[in-house]
Chain A
Amino acid sequence: MKSAVVVFPASNCDRDAAVALEQMTGNKPHMVWHADSEVPDVDLIVLPGGFSYGDYLRCGAMASQSRVMADIKDKADKGALVLGICNGFQVLTETHLLPGALIRNAGLKFVCRPVGLEVVETQSSFTRKYSHGQRVVFPVAHGEGNYIADEETLDRLEGEGRVVFRYAKGESPNGSARDIAGIINEKRNVLGLMPHPERVCDPLLGGTDGRALFESLIEALT
């Protein structure tokens, strides 16, 4: 499996994503600079966590205007797999590759802790190796992960099986609508989620629940 990790100014989980990808797939991902005009021909494009452009404007808003994003949009439209983690999820909503928006956490504070999640949807290239309803623990680390969308969009997301991860009951760190932690697009090739699967691929780091996400991608792509 060939992958690429996009580096925006002040991305800071780019290395973590690259390490997890290499560990899980055996291949080093291409690191793609935001000002590049295109992403190399790969199976998976990862938009990593961080604070692109300091997130001084709406989170992800500046990054969504980066030169490389035009190519990523194009490739996503053509069916390339795109994974946005944390800040990457925010970039995906800002580029409208995913619906809705991520606003300030309900508690108004940055939250970093392991959070229980329910894998709601396993019919995707990102989650086929999980079992339906499986409980996993991924860490979150964000100040603006409170997912919102209008009721119609939320109903549609649920109706079409596009809510992929949900915070376990009572564990939402941010007040997201319907406890949504991660969603997928209509074509099911673009996934965004706030929790960090790449930080739980190593037992020493507190768990291996993130591995199945990468294993799903490997299986889907071979």
Chain B
Amino acid sequence: MTAITTKIVRDHGLNEAEYEKIRSLLGREPNLVELGVFSVMWSEHCSYKSTRAHLKKLPTKAPWVLQGPGENAGVVDIGDGDAVVFKMESHNHPSFIEPYQGAATGVGGIMRDVFTMGARPVAMLNSLRFGEPSHPKTRHLVSGVVSGIGGYGNCMGVPTVGGEVNFHRSYNGNILVNAMCVGLARRDNIFLSAAKGAGNPVVYVGSKTGRDGIHGATMASAEFNEDSEEKRPTVQVGDPFTEKLLLEACLELMATDAIIAIQDMGAAGLTSSSSEMADKGGAGIVIDLDKVPQREINMTAYDMMLSESQERMLAVLKPGREAEAERIFRKWELDFAVIGVTTDTHRLIVKHKGEVVADMPVNALSDAAPVYERPFVKRAPATGTPSFDASRPVMESLLKILAAPDMCSKRWVWEQYDQSVMADTVQMPGGDAAVVRVHGSNKGLAMSTDVTPRYCRADPYEGAKQAVAECWRNLTAVGARPLAVTDCLNYGNPEKPEIMGEIVAGIEGLGEACRALDFPIVSGNCSLYNETQGEGILPTPTIGGVGLLKDVNRMATIAFKREGDAIVLIGEPKGHLGQSVYLRVVEGKEEGAAPPVDLAVEKKNGDFVRGLIEKGRIDTVHDVSDGGLLVAVAEMALSANIGAGVRLKYSLDTFISLLFGEDQGRYVLAVPTDEADRIVADAAKAGVYAQQLGYTGGLSEREGPVLHGVGIPPIALTKLRAAHEGWLPTYMKA
């Protein structure tokens, strides 16, 4: 057997102290298989060794939370015996190396996390961040990632209903692909991964094991450098056809009571699924690798334990139920093999060709994994209000903003995704939140992914708060009660104190906002080491939120519904231009303080707006976020092809900041005028800022519907639409 040298230890991403710890836990030198197992289980990706101490501070509980972090996905009660199961996960590093397969397997992996809990996936969202458009790799990466997400999700027959696509130079060498899956289950039929009890059969189902993806988790836990492209063999290859069969077969088996525990084989494959199930169940496990279905010949124990071949699951069954389970998997033409048994030894024992090739205490791989209190430095937040040219013509700026890469319509992307399969998508991409009906009922699930990384760079704490608040606001804007959050914390190298400072402040900001908004975190992951050649990405704590609509017939959308409605702003305009889209796009500056989030005001304003929707008093709402007020009104007009007139009280030096400022906690409503008066009066009583801004409608004889107003020369919606819809397809064609 290979002797373990310092170089081998280093190549496995373990440092000397960690290796010493392994030796003392085993009471001997590990062999190569064991070293490989430790290296993936102790990798940042699997062990959260840099963040675990901080993540503990996040709020994870509420009366409606059925399952918080620690399982394959979070579970939330939505009444009537239904439960929503969801999680978001990153697939950043593989997607940069091989965009199609990286993104596709990201989608496949997160879907397995959801259906392994007993839920049928009903929606996908994707939060994507690419380098600047002028970077030579960006177009190729956008094209590959979008095709990969579509290729996998479309074949699975799960609608992709929302997400984000942004561009910034900090992602030039390290894109972000964060995929979120939302599923539905019955609350009394949730499956967990705790392999309780000894003597139960351990079964392997799904695809055969190959050599693909060996050490993917370790790769995802290191910085990128110029040799990263050589890591292409560590990227897995997706097979959505097999996954679709696996989904149906698992749900069919789950309708019986044969399963004790089940977990998908994701990062670190057979290693993590077997050791985590044993660990959570307080059991041991013995695996015989000769029984593992194999795609290639001469695979070693090391290969099999570290393979990240996709579309595989490990389950522990009740004894005697193997034949029944096998019949189901054979019907779906999938591999099925009993590969081991649970024990009461608390050890993970791996056999190959009649010999024990690994024998480790289960908790050495989990609880005993290192936890680092890494040193951190909190950078002072950026402050101040940057200067701007108050004389710039408003409409030229609006056109520029609507056509900016971050702000333009992402139709080119979402039209490559099947958004309406499963025939329950009642709100498609393009609004504040997507809404999918709970099949067979009038309830709806609203979902959104949000984060504004430029705010997080300026102020990691306020930026993280803002990400949660914006997500909560987007769910509220369609009329949903926000329920819970999954997060994907994308940051740079935690071994650098400034980056660790961003992470710590970010987690504090998330916690603060989630507590204030009663919006607990039920699942998520961390993706660290997102750097290339020493340059960290913008801090990007992506928030995926899910909310519940009691009745999808009472739902708001952003499109104007009628001409002559009053346009009402909820939430005070203070003209905060620091870190705004306006500054970035029009003035070419990424400067100033991030907009502060007053969580009490956020909650009060949101509760007021949601109440109006629930009572059926309003049907047209849009949150005010990137780009500010005028952009929000323009988007509402474009969605409906109905014009709008905006009248703001202003002085010349505040006009631009009022129109384009990114103050938080705000919504624009459109509502018949008599009701608008009542709403403004009710808002005053509730202590909520409300102001009538103007009216929907406005036609030019030659140009059709127009956007106009005091100090705003009329501009045809056709012209705004051309700018808004044109940028992305033009860019991708070039």
Q: Which residues of A contact B (CB under 8 A)?
A: 9-10, 12-13, 15-16, 19-20, 49-51, 53-56, 109-113, 139, 141, 143, 196, 198-199, 202, 204-206
Contact check: which of A12, A53, A109 meets B157 at CB < 8 Å?
A: A12
- B150 interface residue (CB < 8 Å to A): yes
Q: A110-B416, A202-B423, A204-B437 are in contact. Are A10 and B241 (CB under 8 A)?
A: yes
Tell me the residues in window 144-165 of chain B with beta carbons closer than 8 Å to chain A beta carbons.
Answer: 147, 150-151, 154-157
In angstroms, Cα B207 to Cα A54, docked, is 14
CB-based closest 6 A-B pairs: A12-B157, A54-B241, A51-B155, A16-B423, A141-B418, A10-B244
B553 within 8 Å of A by Cβ? Answer: yes
Is there contact, CB below 8 Å, between B421 and A113? no
**CB <8 Å contact, A198 and B423:** yes
Show the binding face of B for A, using Cβ within 8 Å. Answer: 147, 150-151, 154-157, 239-242, 244-245, 332-333, 414-426, 428, 437, 552-553
Q: Return the chain B residue nearest A50 by Cβ.
A: B157
A72 to chain B, nearest CB (A): 20
Q: Are B417 and A112 in contact (CB under 8 A)?
A: yes
Contact of B420 with A112 in the complex, beta carbons under 8 Å: yes
Contact A54/B423 with A12-B157, A12-B244, A111-B416 known, Cβ cut-off 8 Å: no
Q: Is A9 a contact of B241 with CB atoms below 8 Å? A: yes
Query: Which applies to chain A's interface (DSSP): helix, strand, loop or mixed?
Result: mixed
Q: Given the interface contacts A51-B155, A51-B241, A204-B553, does A13 sit within 8 Å of B416 by beta carbon?
A: no
Nearest CB of A to B418, in Å: 4
Name which residue of chain B comes closest to A10, CB basis: B244
Is there an interface contact between A54 and B155, defined as CB atoms closer than 8 Å? yes
Q: Are A10 and B422 in contact (CB under 8 A)?
A: no
Q: What is the distance, in angstroms, from A204's C-beta to the closest C-beta of chain B?
A: 5
| 11 further interface pairs, Cβ-Cβ under 8 Å (given A13-B157, A19-B423) | A9-B245, A12-B421, A49-B421, A51-B154, A51-B240, A53-B241, A112-B415, A112-B416, A198-B423, A205-B424, A206-B428
Contact partners of A49 in chain B: CB under 8 A: 421
CB neighbours (8 Å) of A9 from chain B are: 241, 244-245, 332-333
CA gap between A9 and B332 in the complex, in Å: 7
Measured between beta carbons, the chain B residues less than 8 angstroms from A139 are 420
Report the Cα distance A199→B424, complex, angstroms.
9
Tell me, in angstroms, the Cα distance from A12 to B157 when the chains sit together: 5
Given the contacts A9-B332, A204-B426, A16 and B421 also touching, CB distance less than 8 Å: yes
Q: Are B437 and A55 within 8 A (Cβ)?
A: no
The complex places the Cα of A54 from the Cα of B553 at a distance, in Å, of 36
A10-B155, A141-B154 are known contacts. Are A51 and B552 too (CB-CB below 8 A)? no
Query: With contacts A10-B245, A51-B241, A56-B241 known, is A112 near B157, CB below 8 A?
Result: no
Bound-state CA distance A17–B239 (Å) is 25
Question: Residues of B contacting A113 with CB < 8 Å?
Answer: 415
Instruction: Give the CA-CA distance A198 to B421 in the complex, in Å.
Output: 10
For A54, what are the chain B residues with a Cβ–Cβ distance below 8 Å?
Answer: 155, 239-242, 244
With a cutoff of 8 Å between Cβ atoms, the chain A residues found around residue B156 in the complex are 12
Cβ-defined partner of B426 (8 Å) among A55, A56, A112, A205: A205
Given contacts A12-B157, A110-B416, A139-B420, contact A205 B241 (CB under 8 A): no
Which B residue sits closest to A54, measured CB to CB?
Answer: B241
A205 partner residues in chain B, CB cutoff 8 A: 420, 423-426
Look across to chain A and name the residue whose beta carbon is closest to the beta carbon of B151. A110
Give the distance to chain B from A131, nearest Cβ to Cβ, in Å: 25
**6 CB < 8 A contacts A-B:** A9-B332, A10-B157, A49-B421, A51-B241, A111-B415, A112-B418
B155 touches A55 (CB 8 A): yes
CB distance from B207 to the nearest CB of A (A): 12
Q: Are B416 and A109 in contact (CB under 8 A)?
A: yes
Among B423, B426, B552, residue most surrounded by chain A Cβ atoms (within 10 Å): B423
Once bound together, how far apart are the Cα atoms of A112 and B420, in whole Å? 8
Task: State the CA gap A9–B157 with chains docked (Å).
Answer: 12
Smallest Cβ-Cβ distance to A23: which chain B residue: B423
Q: How far is the CA of A155 from the CA of B157 in the complex (A)?
A: 36
Across-interface contacts of A111 in B (CB, < 8 A): 415-416
B contact residues around A50 at 8 Å (CB): 157
Residue ID in chain B nearest A7 by CB atoms: B248
Contact A20 B241 (CB under 8 A): no
Tell me if B420 and A199 are in contact (CB < 8 A): yes
A199 and B415 within 8 A (CB): no
Smallest Cβ-Cβ distance to A201: which chain B residue: B423
Do B422 and A15 have beta carbons less than 8 Å apart?
yes
Q: How far is the CB of B26 from chain A (nearest CB, A)?
A: 43
